[in-house]
Structure 1
Amino acid sequence: MPDELHQAGAGDPDGLDRLWTPHRLAYIRGENKPDDHSTGQCPFCRIPKMDDAEGLIVHRGELAYAVLNLYPYSPGHLMVCPYRHIADYTETTDDEAAEIADLTRAAMRTIRAVSGAQGFNIGMNQGAVAGAGIAAHLHQHVVPRWPGDQNFMPIIGRTKTLPELLGETRDLLAGAFKRR
C-alpha cells in the first residue's frame, strides 16, 4: 500500500460491519417531497392511484387510507393519510377526522395482533418546522414499539435494522386488516 494512503487511514480495517441502505439516499436528498400540489409530485396523492402492493397500502377507507412508511422507524411503521390533499389537521372535515382516528385505532389493533407490539408512538408533525417530512399532505404516523427496540444501533450507530422487507410487512398487515 502506498505510504500516503496508509497514513490517511484508507484501507485500514476499523473492525466495524457496514449495513448499506442506499434506498435512504432518496429520503436524504428530499426526492419526491412536494413543493406544490399542482406539480403532481405529492407521494400521498400518487400512492392511492397505485396497486395496493406497489403503493404499500395496507387498507383503504372511504376518506383515508393506511400505508407503510417507505422509511420506517420500526417494522410495521405506517401512516394514515386522507385522500384529500390538505396540509393541516384543522382542515379535515369531521368525517375525515373520524376516519383517520378509526383507521389509527384499527392499525394499532392490527399491528398488535400480528406482531405483539407492546406500545406505540402516534402523531402528526404539522409543518416543516415541526418535523414534517412531507408537510404539504397531512399524515399520521403509527409506530409500533417493543422493549429494547432502541438499542445501540440507532443511538450510537445512527442505523436502524429492520428484520422484514416492506412487501412482507404490507402483505401481513393487509391480510390482517381484511380479517378484522
Structure 2
Amino acid sequence: MGACPLGYISFVPTGVALRDVREQLFDAADRILLRSGPEALTSRAVTLDAGCAKGVLHRHFTDFDDFLAEYVLDRAGRMDARMTALHAGTGSVTDTVADALTALFGSVAVAIVALVTFRDGLRARLRETWPAGVPVLTEGAELFAAYLEDERVLGRIAAGADTATLGAILIGTGHMLFADRTGPPPAPADVRRTVAAIIPVAAT
C-alpha cells in the first residue's frame, strides 16, 4: 500500500494535486468493494486502505456520499477504456461483445451496482447529475448500442435490429451472469453462447 500524498497533512504543500488524492482514495474503494462488498465501504476503511490520515477524505469531499458519487461517476467514465475491443467491422461480433462483457463485468462494475443499490444516500446524490439508471450500467448499454449500430450499418447484424434495446439487454444479461462474485465467473463459452442468442445475425 502506497503512502497517501496527504498522509501527514500538516507537512503537505498546498499545491498537492487533488487528482492524486482522488485516485488513491478511489483505488482503495475498488479494493474494498472487490474484497468485502459495499457494506464494508466506509470512509474509515477507505482512508485506512489508502494509507491516509482519517480527515483526508473529508477535506476534499462534502461527505462520504459525495465521495462515493464522484467515485461511481469516475468509474463509469472509464468504461470506454475497458471496452476498447468494440471496433465495428473487425472479428466476430459475438466474440467481440462476449470479450467486452467479460472485461466490463470482470472489473469492479458489478460491485459498483451493488453499492448503488445498497446506499440510499448515494442514489439520491447521483440523481443530481445522472437522471436515470445506474451509471456503470447505463454507460455500458450506450457503448454496446453504439457498437451494434455501427455493425448494423455495415450489414454484420440484422438490418432491423433495435440496437438501443440490444445494448440494454446485453448489460442486463451480463450483470446476471457475473453478479455472483462468491463463485467462479461464467465460462467464456457460456458468455459467448448467451451473446449469440441475443444478437440477431444478418440475413444471408
TM-score normalized with structure 2 length: 0.27
Higher strand fraction (1 or 2): 1
More helix by share: 2
Point out which structure has higher relative CO (alpha carbons under 8 A, 6+ apart): 1
